[in-house]
């Protein structure tokens, strides 16, 4: 993968004139995952640049825990509630980040009012649901095609995912990569106290501890050393019982998380359902090489200088240990949140005056 290059900013009218953007997402705080970090960082940068950003999230509605995954809250909305919120905001652009209840309600409003919108494909949704239900992933692709089909553009992070979506008939695609907070994630981050005295090499996993993340494949690897898991989720208790020699540290953020990355010998990314894998570039920015399966995400991010991929995780770990940590840190530093946020702006579909008139006419009917 080539380094991200800065792209020209999108200009909507006069320079520095604030414009309103509505982002609708079912993934938001207090969840801790790559989608939430991506959206929250993007919002911070947009606001710093003078854009008015409103996030419609489960925080604003009554919610219930998702079946089998209580950390995720599913918003309960009255018919038309999200649409009324969007109408009151009257944004210049609408972005629907997720395919959940809020995303569904926003899509219905936009299609009914002829409001252009964009979406994003953050997670291999069919594979994700398949792992949780036991049903084939093919059963869920019709919903994905239906949900994203009317979008002006679907934002995706990697070429592998673009190819997969094209095969499914979704062709209006825009590139939206990811970035790293280099002030936080660096090789100089202090090691956590829990790492002192651990038998090396230290092999690290960071992320949700859930079935779709395939953490068991990491923990069942016979590679010697100490396996450390940072994160929480519904599978944690069972995996702790099944793998008593592994160290489970729970959630870590900021410099504490960066220290876990920097102190590890190899970062292991066992997921087969992620579309990018933000944790990989965070690990690389801390100088830690990555071992992964050769699937979408890793194949788009890694090269032999900074990591290794194999269907045999132990072989990938062994090869990753040979990587130069300085090269890993330099490569991770190439991922800029500024460039990623400008890609997001370029992918948006702001309303034209004609489209706004059509929307107002549809609302009046």
What is the residue-level pLDDT of the chain in tens, covering all 365 positions?
A: 333 333 334 444 444 344 899 999 999 998 888 899 999 999 999 999 999 999 999 999 999 887 766 777 889 998 899 999 999 999 999 999 999 999 999 999 999 999 999 999 998 888 878 877 888 989 999 999 999 999 999 999 999 999 999 999 999 999 999 999 999 999 999 999 999 999 999 999 999 999 999 999 999 999 999 999 999 999 999 999 999 999 999 999 999 999 999 999 999 999 999 999 999 999 999 999 999 999 999 999 999 999 999 999 999 999 999 999 999 999 999 999 999 999 999 999 998 877 777 777 666 65
Taken in order of first residue, the domains within the chain and their CATH numbers are 20-179+338-364 (3.40.50.2000), 193-335 (3.40.50.2000)
**pTM for the predicted model, two decimal places:** 0.86
What is the chain's Cα-based Rg? 21
- Contact assessment for residue 117 and residue 94, using Cβ atoms and an 8 Å cutoff: yes
Tokens of 79: 């018919």
């Amino acid at each position: 993968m080539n380094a991200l290059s800065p792209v020209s900013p999108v200009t909507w009218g006069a320079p520095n004139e604030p414009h309103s953007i509505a982002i609708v997402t079912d993934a938001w705080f207090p969840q801790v995952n790559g989608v939430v970090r991506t959206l929250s960082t993007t919002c911070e940068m947009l606001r710093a640049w003078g854009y008015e950003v409103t996030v419609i999230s489960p925080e604003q509605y009554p919610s219930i825990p998702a079946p089998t995954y209580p950390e995720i809250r599913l918003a309960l909305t009255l018919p038309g509630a999200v649409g009324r919120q969007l109408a009151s905001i009257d944004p210049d652009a609408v972005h629907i980040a997720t395919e959940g209840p809020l995303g569904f309600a926003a899509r219905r409003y936009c299609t009914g009012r002829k409001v252009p919108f964009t979406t994003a494909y953050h997670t291999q949704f069919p594979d994700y649901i398949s792992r949780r239900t036991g049903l084939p992933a093919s059963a869920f692709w019709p919903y994905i095609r239906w949900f994203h089909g009317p979008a002006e553009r679907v934002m995706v992070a990697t070429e592998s995912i673009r190819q997969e979506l094209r095969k499914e008939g979704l062709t209006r695609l825009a590139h939206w990569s990811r970035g790293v907070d280099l002030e936080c994630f660096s090789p100089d981050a202090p090691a956590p106290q829990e790492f002192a005295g651990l038998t090396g090499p230290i092999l690290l996993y960071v992320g949700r501890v859930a079935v779709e993340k395939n953490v068991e494949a990491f923990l069942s690897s016979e590679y010697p050393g100490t396996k450390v898991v940072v994160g929480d989720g519904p599978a944690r208790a069972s995996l702790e019982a099944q793998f008593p020699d592994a160290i489970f540290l729970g959630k870590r953020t900021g410099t504490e998380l960066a220290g876990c990355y920097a102190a590890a010998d190899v970062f292991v990314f066992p997921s087969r359902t992620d579309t990018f894998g933000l944790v990989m570039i965070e690990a690389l920015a801390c100088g830690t090489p990555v071992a992964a399966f050769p699937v979408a995400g890793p194949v788009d991010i890694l090269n032999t200088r900074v990591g290794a991929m194999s269907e045999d995780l132990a072989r990938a770990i062994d090869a990753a240990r040979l990587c130069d940590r300085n090269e890993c840190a330099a490569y991770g530093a190439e991922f800029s949140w500024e460039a990623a946020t400008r890609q997001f702006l370029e992918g948006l579909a702001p309303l034209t005056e004609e489209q706004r008139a059509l929307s107002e006419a549809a609302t009046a009917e």
